[in-house]
Amino acid sequence: MKTLKDFADDINKCSKCGLCQSVCPVYKITGNDCAVSRGKFVMLEGVLKGDLKLNRTIEKYLDMCLRCGKCKDFCPGGIDVCEIFNIAKYECAKNTLHGKIENFLESDFVFGNCIKLARKISHFGASRLQPANDGKETTRLLYFKGCVNNIYPKTEKALKKILQKLDVELIERDFDCCGQPFLSGGNLERFEEVKAWNLKLMDCDFDAVLTDCASCESTLREYFKECEAPEFINAAEFLAKQNVRFRFKKPVRVTFHKPCHLKSADFVPELFQNCENVEYIEMKDFDECCGFAGSFALKNSNLSITLAQNKAKNIIETGADVVLTTCPACILGILRGFNHRRHPKAMNVVDFLAHADEIILKKSY
Ligand code: SF4
Ligand code: SF4
């Protein structure tokens, strides 16, 4: 396992230019330099020089980060800030009582077995999707369904309902959690455990890894930082590129929230062009964080609510009936921001498309 010292060169690469301040959602609210990469790197430089200790104060600032990666994309030094913060968080928490308690709760014995039990209950009697056997070549998609589908497989069912119309073979494996909560929470030993298990199950023949959660996909990509990665595709993007049309009888206005971890939202206009009676209205700052970000919402409740309320305001201003996204955690984040009695529905894109009155292959109309 790498240590903070292994990242000394990257930390020293920070020129303190402050450009990260202009994109960091947390800095925009707090105005606190310790909340953004620049300030965190000043502290970590102090630690590496031996002037500071990795104590609770530094840990608090490491937790005050959404791991949204916006500063990384903007940083002239190209510093992989999230990886450094995760290692520093690991070193802060590893020998502390609260670190040990968190690790126990996230262990395979507690977290892992809860997910396995939930999967057994929620998938009892469920059948696996068979490819349409009409002699055509099928696309083989390895489905990473994620913890939320293991507990409450609403989006999984919606996805299968649509995919059964297409020439697709969905390969299912008993994957563990992608590891996102462990990675960002600094429980790197547990992250390596789930990564090893999932990689073993990914060792099979497929065309692409399919997910319906942007955070799962971004974490799976982390597995392949030092080796060749397979192709990954988000379910919403996959459906946008298929020869399929979604016909809604009643007109509906939708807007789209881009999760921080979704690689690109370029497919969104194309997706809604494939829908009849659906009007897409882009919201202001559609790619700004919803404020949930796993344990960030628990550890920085007021900040998280402020970010969610800003997001909700932008959604309401569009006048949309439904806000769509591709991450279950973002749905929770968005719902936290609505404090009006009446507000738009928040749904995964896949759930919305499965509600179409007709799903038709373009060749057949
Ligand atoms: S943008 Fe990069 S180099 Fe500039 S202060 Fe932020 S982390 Fe440092
Ligand atoms: S990852 Fe996001 S929240 Fe964290 S410092 Fe960078 S921009 Fe700010």
pLDDT in tens, 113-135: 888 888 777 776 666 666 555 55
The response to whether residue 72 sits with its C-beta less than 6 Å from ligand 1 reads: no
Q: Give pLDDT, residue 129.
A: 61
Q: Would you state the structure tokens that stand for residue 77, as one six-digit string?
A: 């030094």
At residue 165, φ and ψ (nearest 5 deg) are: -85, -15
**Structural tokens at position 206:** 């497929």
- CATH level 3 topology of 243-364: Rossmann fold (3.40.50)
Q: Give, as one character, the DSSP assignment of residue 82.
A: H
Strands (E), 163-243: 168-172, 208-211, 232-234
Dihedral, 137, 138, 142, 145 alpha carbons, nearest 10: 170
Ligand closest in space to the Cα of 85: 2
Residues of the chain with CATH 3.40.50: 107-238, 243-364
Residue nearest to atom 7 of ligand 2 (CA): 24
Task: Give me the pLDDT at residue 264, please.
Answer: 94
Residues whose CB falls within 8 Å of the CB of residue 100, separated by 6 or more in sequence, listed in order:
none
Residue 177 has which token pair? 């959690």
For ligand 2, say whether the CB of 330 is within 6 Å of any of its atoms: no
Cβ of residue 16 lying under 6 Å from some atom of ligand 1: yes
Q: Report pLDDT for 142.
A: 97
Q: Is residue 214 in contact with ligand 2, taking CB distance under 6 Å?
A: no
In which residue ranges of the chain is pLDDT below 50?
365
- What's the confidence (pLDDT) of residue 228? 92
Q: 197-245 pLDDT, tens per residue?
A: 999 999 999 999 999 999 999 999 999 988 999 999 999 999 999 989 9
Beta-strand pair 208-211/168-172: unpaired
Q: Considering only the top CATH level, what class is 107-238?
A: alpha beta
Look at residues 31, 82, 63 and name the one whose alpha carbon lies nearest to residue 261.
82
51-87 in b/e burial notation, b at 16+ Cβ within 10 A?
eeebeeebbebbbbbbbbebbbeebebebebbbbbbb
